Chain A
């Protein structure tokens, strides 16, 4: 019911610090605190429409917006890289609506929002990592009905997932789940680690930093407190094995980091480089310095 001469201007005038209104932040903050108190349990929350599309990090953005303050230094990565377009877009969003300092350095960041990776550098107690989560329900591919999966979580009945993993072993010789590999949190809740490669799963276990997870479209928040046991599901005779490409990074030589495969021609030429661009950059500088000395 607005006239044509409506003065509502473009830009971010009239929007609150960190975009969300205070009532929304309080609602999200309450959900985050309950998530921390019940590690691995998905808390339904009234996710708002954000000015970025659902599926593009709205859950992570809402969590970050609810915790972010002027003293924070924000790092945003997508696929491990700070310079991928969606990471840039989200970083710009927070620069615009919160005027917050940003960094590409894992060590300098107080909040790291991520899609699909955990940085290679170990996180510290004074850091928070916020994961963007497309599908928070680890059982969703096995049981699409939420009413039913909520019941299964209540009963801690995770037989479906064990059967699924065991079928892989019976058919293929090992578990064919390479990313979004389910974990048990503090021995109680089955949890989706978000679509990080299984390679990153062990970093979640007893991590000194607080880990928060936001799923905007599915309207769920969950958390892992610091130093909480996180175990990737496996079997005694088929222990969990993180997979990485068996190569060294072509840029920094790392044989420990997670690698992206890059096609260099159409004749089968390829190379492997670190997915974590900050880690790789630091190592390249260190290698160059060593060579110079």
Chain B
């Protein structure tokens, strides 16, 4: 077995910086931010997705992953993540390939919509200024987000996810060391 690459060089301050990046992304849906630039996680895990999980996941957050043994060993070691086999039991769902359907994940209840899962999904690339048209809380007029390699049928599934508000799933799109977030409130139209 190959030795595990390190996690955050400074676990306290790097996690803080990554959290602020994720908070910025979640507060301003579609805005692309940088996270985990210095990480070297095992394939197929990208740097941004690795940083998000190092920052937010731990033994208290059931994690579902399709990333394979190396990536899971790395996550288990660095964040003590508790893996589950059923995606609908997970607080965090990590998809490096085709993710489970949005409506197959935990949406929370009307009383406790915060139980809705966070889907961390890796895509080929993220860019701003063109592509999807995003509107909703966090967005002054409209944000544009160009996503290549989004899961098939994502926008239709997203519209259904948004329609069941306050229940629903929140998504963090990751590519290399960049990420953008889609809280369940955001409306997305094809660009």
Contacts and interface: CB of A to CB of B under 8 A. Distances in A.
Asked if A and B are interacting partners, one says: yes
A271 interface: no
A22 B11 contact: yes
B165 A188 contact: yes
Given A39-B137, A210-B27, A226-B28, A70 B15 contact: no
Contacts of B56: 26, 29-30, 33
Given A23-B58, A33-B118, A227 B140 contact: yes
B23 A36 contact: yes
Contacts of A150: 111-112
A41 interface: yes
A32 B23 CA distance: 8
Contacts of A154: 109-111
A228 B137 contact: yes
A254 interface: no
A34 B27 contact: no
Given A17-B12, A22-B12, A22-B15, A226 B111 contact: no
B130 interface: no
Contacts of B19: 25, 29, 66-67
Interface string A189-225: 1000000000000000010101000000000000011
A188 B113 CA distance: 13
Interface in B10-37: 11-13, 15-17, 19-20, 22-23, 26-28
B113 A36 contact: no
A30 B61 contact: yes
Given A17-B13, A188-B166, A69 B20 contact: yes
Contacts of A43: 114
| A interface, size bucket | 35 or more
A153 interface: yes
A27 B15 CA distance: 13
B99 interface: no
A182 B140 CA distance: 23
Nearest to B138: A225
Contact of B58 (A26, A39, A208, A228): A26
Interface of A: 16-17, 22-23, 25-27, 29-39, 41, 43-44, 66-70, 125, 150-151, 153-155, 186, 188-189, 206, 208, 210, 224-228
Interface of B: 11-13, 15-17, 19-20, 22-23, 26-28, 55-58, 60-61, 91, 109-114, 116, 118, 137-140, 165-166, 170, 183-185
Contacts of A27: 60
Nearest to B80: A23
B113 A33 contact: no
B23 A67 contact: yes
Contact of B26 (A37, A153, A228): A37
Given A36-B183, A189-B166, 14 more contacts: A16-B12, A26-B55, A26-B57, A33-B56, A34-B114, A37-B26, A38-B165, A44-B114, A154-B111, A188-B165, A188-B166, A206-B140, A208-B140, A224-B137
A208 B137 CA distance: 11
A41 B184 CA distance: 13
Contact of A33 (B13, B23, B28): B23
A39 B185 contact: yes
B26 A155 contact: no
Contact of A227 (B11, B111, B113, B138): B138
Nearest to A32: B23
Most A-side CB within 10 Å, residue of B56, B58, B114, B140: B114
Contacts of B116: 34, 37
B166 A38 contact: yes
Contacts of B166: 38, 41, 188-189
B170 A34 contact: yes
Contacts of B140: 206, 208, 226-227
B118 to A, nearest CB: 7
Contacts of B114: 31, 34-35, 38, 41, 43-44
A202 to B, nearest CB: 17
A243 B116 CA distance: 40
Contacts of B58: 23, 26
A44 B60 CA distance: 15
B81 to A, nearest CB: 11
B27 A225 contact: yes
Most A-side CB within 10 Å, residue of B23, B58, B60, B113: B23
A153 to B, nearest CB: 7
